[in-house]
Amino acid sequence: KNQVEQSPQSLIILEGKNCTLQCNYTVSPFSNLRWYKQDTGRGPVSLTIMTFSENTKSNGRYTATLDADTKQSSLHITASQLSDSASYICVVSVNYGQNFVFGPGTRLSVLP
Amino acid sequence: AAGVIQSPRHLIKEKRETATLKCYPIPRHDTVYWYQQGPGQDPQFLISFYEKMQSDKGSIPDRFSAQQFSDYHSELNMSSLELGDSALYFCASSLGRGAKGSYEQYFGPGTRLTVT
User: Does A7 have pLDDT greater than 70?
Assistant: yes
For A42, which of B33, B101, B109 is closest by C-beta distance?
Answer: B109
d(CA A83, CA A86): 8
For the ranges A34-38, A60-64, A100-104, the lowest mean pLDDT is seen at A100-104
B chain contacts of residue A44, beta-carbon cutoff 8 Å: 43, 90, 107
Q: B46-57 pLDDT, tens per residue?
A: 998 988 998 878
Residues B18, B81 contacting (CB under 8 angstroms) = yes
Beta bridge partner(s), residue B62: none
B106/A99 CB distance under 8 A? no
In this complex, the residue of B4, B58, B102 whose CB is nearest that of residue A32 is B102
Q: Hey, is the C-beta of A103 within 8 angstroms of any chain B C-beta?
A: yes
* B100/A41: higher pLDDT: A41
Dump pLDDT digits (tens) for A48-90. 989 888 899 999 999 999 999 999 999 999 999 999 999 999 9
A70 touches chain B (CB under 8 A): no
- Chain B nearest CA to A98, separation (Å): 6
The H or E element spanning position A104 is none
Q: Give Cβ neighbours of residue A2 (< 8 Å, ≥ 6 apart).
A: A25, A26, A27, A28, A92, A94, A101
Give residue B100's pLDDT.
45
pLDDT tens-digit map of B80-114: 999 999 999 999 988 876 444 556 778 899 999 99
Whole-number pLDDT of residue A98: 54
Whether the CB of B13 is below 8 Å from some CB of chain A: the reply is: no
At residue B82, the pLDDT reads 97
Cα distance between residue A43 and residue A46, in whole Å? 10
Give the span between the Cα atoms of B110 and B92, in whole angstroms: 9
